Amino acid sequence: MLGFSFAKLLVFAAVVGVIWLAFRHVGRVEAIRRALGEELRRRQRAERQRRQPLAAEDLVKCRVCGAYVAARGATACGRTDCPWGR
């Protein structure tokens, strides 16, 4: 009743082979998806680190002209009475 002919065994082997190849393909696709996801996360971390807010710098008001200049590293504005040119 359940005779195993050569044709049936050949079809069975072909079906098993196709299923095995399909699993290999799915595994390969998942590995690529994981690698791309990790690359995306790495790029996002790098972008966040690159876009860190700049440190705030204190400003002081010039007592002569009233302009605000950096507290450290201020340079003369060109006026003769500029306090930052000394």
Instruction: Tell me the per-residue pLDDT of 4-23, one tens digit each, with 9 for 90 and over.
Output: 888 999 999 999 999 999 99
Looking at residue 29, its pLDDT comes to 97
In a domain, 83, yes or no: no
Q: CA–CA separation, 44 vs 82, rounded Å? A: 47
Domain count, the chain: 1
Higher-pLDDT residue of 3, 20: 20
Which of 46, 84, 82 lies closest to 64, judged by CA? 82
| Percent of the chain whose pLDDT exceeds 70 | 95
Domain presence at residue 85: no
pLDDT in tens, 29-51: 999 999 999 999 999 998 888 87
User: Domain range spanning residue 38?
Assistant: 6-74
Using DSSP, state whether 73 is helix, strand or coil.
coil
Residue 64: strand pairing partners: none
Residue 85 has pLDDT above 70, yes or no: no
Pairing between β-strand 59-61 and β-strand 68-70 as defined by DSSP bridges: antiparallel
In a domain, 84, yes or no: no
User: Would 79 be classed as within a structural domain?
Assistant: no
Residue 81 domain flag: no
Residue 11, H or E segment = helix 6-50
